[in-house]
Chain A
């Protein structure tokens, strides 16, 4: 089996009184696409946000590409990473949000250039040509000068994907990337994601798009109430769910 890109071990996370993740373990081999499904409030988005430490975890470990996220282990004790070390770890993990979160005061091109220019100090010329190539890759070469408000939801999300890719991440996290889109715009985003998966990118995708999970996913995880209820090859889980909760959930969404 291929080496792990992400290894999540017994992760727990609570918000006040509410325990959102109750010991979740997951292995994501390099180059694979793992889709995470489950009812709203099940903890699937939180799990994703724990991978790049937008959320701090209360227990457990997360490794990305063999490196412990958020901590350094020295002399048998965990030390919280300094902010700049955390920033370095995050540079290698792209994230796409449900509501895009493009920078509204920058054009599509400037959005894609922002990471390389500000974080990696890439020259403007190099960042521009790379950003234009990425916009072309997501089919938006002709929209480079548009501000996010002038773009449709599907176009904004594709710019957001290009913005993440500009940092040359080795892992991409997708947090319900098509849930805020009008139905007719969903496919253009999923197509970009399919192409990305085919290019060998390691992806964790929280989604409600069972069709995408079935075709593009290598592995499907069903989360409910903070625990992984069932996981396996997408076709198997989707057509022959073993657990009652999975059956109930799939019965509602399919």
Chain B
């Protein structure tokens, strides 16, 4: 039998060629203007990239992102489970939570948390509805920029995660629940062993996006002087007027963080698509 080889000639695509050349030219021009621009102060950028204050801000950015994502995911799972519960009170409470915190801007929430002392000058542990207090602290001591930032980011993130987790749980075939019930598994066992692992496949990709977006959202904390990457960059440029150089420094680190997070996201997605 003779082999029928295919060595076909490709039809010319002049439009695509022209577009590619144009795109390459534009990119080359952009890179050229950036490199030769004397106002960019590459030496300053290099000087501050590994500056102690910048690295300190970087650390706060990472800590804020990690903490608010971990606690936010927990809150989100809790709110999602409440929204899928049979109790109208639990459903209502969770619904109110997501409605309020998704319906107001994060920036406003952050400023609000930072100034919570104006509404509740004392924060403590005691009997609610005006009962005696056992422990209390002045709000101004408790609410630092960091705690205010963490509160704002976490509670806001929880509201978004609730929707993501709920969609994930609902994506699991109800037959899975029935099969698990017929084995005699309890609600909690079914959630933990059967429903959540499958919901993960749907939950992980948007959660990865939330994480990557959170790395950048932490920069909003600069309005309450949160000491993260953007805040420290601003402090330095208010001092030495190297505005653009320090924004480039901050952006470089943000890009690096998001790139690493993207790789992590790919890995997790593969891990949780077992059996599919």
Q: B-contacting residues of A (Cβ < 8 Å)? A: 52, 54, 83-84, 87-95, 97, 99, 101-107, 114-115, 118-119, 147-149, 160, 163-164, 167, 173
B81 contacts partner chain A, Cβ-Cβ < 8 Å: no
Cα–Cα distance between A107 and B274 once the two chains are bound (Å): 10
- Residue from B179, B197, B275 in contact with A97 in the complex, judged by beta carbons closer than 8 Å: B179
Chain A contacts of B51 at CB under 8 A?
none
B175 contacts partner chain A, Cβ-Cβ < 8 Å: yes
Report the minimum CB–CB distance from A142 to chain B (whole Å). Answer: 18
Q: Are A147 and B274 in contact (CB under 8 A)?
A: yes
Q: Are A90 and B181 in contact (CB under 8 A)?
A: yes
Chain B contacts of A118 at CB under 8 A?
183, 185, 189, 193
Cα–Cα distance between A97 and B182 once the two chains are bound (Å): 10
- Residue from A84, A114, A148 in contact with B275 in the complex, judged by beta carbons closer than 8 Å: A148
Other than A54-B182, A115-B185, give 9 A-B pairs with Cβ distance below 8 A. Answer: A87-B186, A91-B184, A92-B184, A95-B179, A101-B176, A103-B176, A106-B275, A107-B275, A119-B189
Q: Are A99 and B182 in contact (CB under 8 A)?
A: no
Q: Are A93 and B182 in contact (CB under 8 A)?
A: yes
Q: Are A167 and B183 in contact (CB under 8 A)?
A: yes
B276 contacts partner chain A, Cβ-Cβ < 8 Å: yes
Q: Are B182 and A84 in contact (CB under 8 A)?
A: no
Report the minimum CB–CB distance from A26 to chain B (whole Å). Answer: 19
- Residue from B182, B189, B197, B275 in contact with A164 in the complex, judged by beta carbons closer than 8 Å: B182
B47 contacts partner chain A, Cβ-Cβ < 8 Å: no
B90 contacts partner chain A, Cβ-Cβ < 8 Å: no
Q: Which residue of A lies closest to B179 (CB)?
A: A101
Cα–Cα distance between A224 and B194 once the two chains are bound (Å): 35
Report the minimum CB–CB distance from B25 to chain A (whole Å). Answer: 48
Q: Are A105 and B182 in contact (CB under 8 A)?
A: no
Q: Are A54 and B189 in contact (CB under 8 A)?
A: no
Chain B contacts of A94 at CB under 8 A?
182
A-contacting residues, B191-206, CB 8 Å: 193-194, 197-198
Q: Are B186 and A83 in contact (CB under 8 A)?
A: yes
- Residue from A87, A97, A101 in contact with B184 in the complex, judged by beta carbons closer than 8 Å: A87
Closest 8 CB pairs of A and B: A91-B184, A101-B179, A95-B182, A147-B275, A115-B183, A101-B175, A90-B184, A104-B275
Given contacts A83-B186, A87-B186, A119-B185, contact A105 B274 (CB under 8 A): yes
Q: Are B173 and A87 in contact (CB under 8 A)?
A: no
Residues 124-151 of B, flagged 1 when their CB comes within 8 A of A and 0 if not, give 0000000000000000000000000000
A-contacting residues, B142-196, CB 8 Å: 173, 175-176, 178-187, 189, 193-194
Chain B contacts of A160 at CB under 8 A?
179
Cα–Cα distance between A118 and B189 once the two chains are bound (Å): 7
Cα–Cα distance between A94 and B184 once the two chains are bound (Å): 9
Report the minimum CB–CB distance from B178 to chain A (whole Å). Answer: 6
Q: Are A103 and B194 in contact (CB under 8 A)?
A: yes
Chain A contacts of B176 at CB under 8 A?
101, 103
A-contacting residues, B243-276, CB 8 Å: 274-276
Chain A contacts of B175 at CB under 8 A?
97, 99, 101
Chain B contacts of A89 at CB under 8 A?
184
Cα–Cα distance between A88 and B274 once the two chains are bound (Å): 31
Report the minimum CB–CB distance from B127 to chain A (whole Å). Answer: 31
- Residue from A54, A167, A173 in contact with B181 in the complex, judged by beta carbons closer than 8 Å: A54
In the assembled complex, 29 residue pairs joining A and B whose CB atoms fall closer than 8 Å, in A order, are A52-B182, A83-B187, A84-B186, A87-B184, A87-B185, A90-B184, A93-B182, A95-B182, A101-B173, A101-B175, A101-B176, A102-B179, A104-B276, A105-B275, A107-B275, A115-B183, A115-B184, A115-B185, A118-B185, A119-B183, A119-B185, A119-B189, A147-B274, A148-B275, A149-B276, A160-B179, A163-B183, A164-B183, A173-B182
